Amino acid sequence: MTKDNASLARLTDVIDRLLAPEGCPWDKEQTPESLCDYLVEECFELVEAIRSGNADEVREEMGDVMFLLAFLGRLYADKGAFTLDDAMANNAAKMIRRHPHVFSDTTYADRDEFLRNWESIKRAEKADAEGEPQGVYDSLPASLPPLLKAYRIHSKAARVGFTWPEDEDVERQVEAEWLELLDVLAGDDKAAQENELGDLIFSLVELGRRKGIKANTALDMTNLKFLRRFRRMEALARERGLDFPALSLDDKDELWNEAKAAEAAAR
């Protein structure tokens, strides 16, 4: 038995003990539905750890996600639905099926052709299972965060050839959406303003995608950068005995510039 298999077996043993008659009352109350929020939270924590670059935190958060996946597998096994082994075997078969250029003699001219074929295979899988054609967006999770969902919408549209021919076309679209937003901002129609802001963001997501940038990741990095600098501003104010909220905007800007300069010097 490999180390990974031994660790998975140990984790399974822990779950067996938790769900035993003399186990944890709270764990024994859990259902797949009740674990959903915990799974989402742990996945966000794992992503945060990965982006922080802290391997120790990544290891811990990966363990938390693995525990929940193993827990879910046990709950479904107890219901007679499937086992964790079934889920892993199904995924291995799916990956082999979707990578014919690796596991058979299929060749692709480029990444775009590979992605188009990936979508075709996915739709064929669903058609085989359900007996009817699969739409391009039928597999798009409704619960995806909006920015990530916009990226997926554009990505799937591009794989079936429904996108702007050139990057410059998208740039012009972004500029047009910006001007439309400015136009409605001059008025009082909040619904129109919200609509145009959404259109602008949607177009920016596509521009980023075509440049290899995921808007969700880019915005998260900017959020973290702002919070890091803002906390540095507050720390500088405390060190100097200043009441940060009471400072003028000019004084806050000076602290902001200090925080930026310190960050740049530390690189």
Residues 118 and 185 in one domain: no
- Range 181-215 burial, b when 16+ CB lie within 10 A, else e: beebeeeeeeeebeebeebbbbbbbbbbbbeeeeb
Average pLDDT value over all residues in the chain: 92
Chain segment 200-211, per-residue pLDDT in tens? 999 999 999 999
| Residue 21 shares a structural domain with residue 61 | yes
pLDDT of residue 110: 86
- Among the listed residues 18, 26, 22, 36, the one whose alpha carbon sits nearest the alpha carbon of residue 74: 18
17-64 tens-digit pLDDT: 999 999 999 999 999 999 998 999 999 999 999 988 899 999 999 999
Res 231: pLDDT: 95
Whether pLDDT at 133 is above 90: no
Residue 80: count of CB within 10 angstroms of its CB? 7
Say whether both 12 and 62 belong to one domain. Answer: yes
Distance CA 81, CA 235 (A): 54
**What are the pLDDT digits (tens) for 61-110?**
999 999 999 999 999 999 999 999 999 999 999 999 999 999 998 888 88
Residue 173 lies in a domain: yes
pLDDT value of residue 1:
55
pTM as predicted: 0.70
Whichever domain contains 187, its CATH number is: 1.10.287.1080
What pLDDT score was predicted for residue 178? 98
Helix (H) or strand (E) holding 245, with range, is none
Place of tokens 């074929």: 117
Is 138 contained in some domain? no
Q: Is residue 46 assigned to a domain?
A: yes
Mean pLDDT throughout 225-236?
Answer: 95
Q: Are residues 17 and 76 in the same domain?
A: yes
In a domain, 206, yes or no: yes
Q: Indicate if the pLDDT at residue 165 is higher than 80.
A: yes
Domain count of the fold of the chain: 4
Cα–Cα separations (whole angstroms), residue 16 to 13, 24, 52, 65, 70: 5, 10, 33, 17, 11
* Boundaries of domain holding 162: 146-213
The values of phi and psi at residue 234, to 5°, are: -60, -40
- Is the pLDDT at 3 greater than 60? The verdict is yes
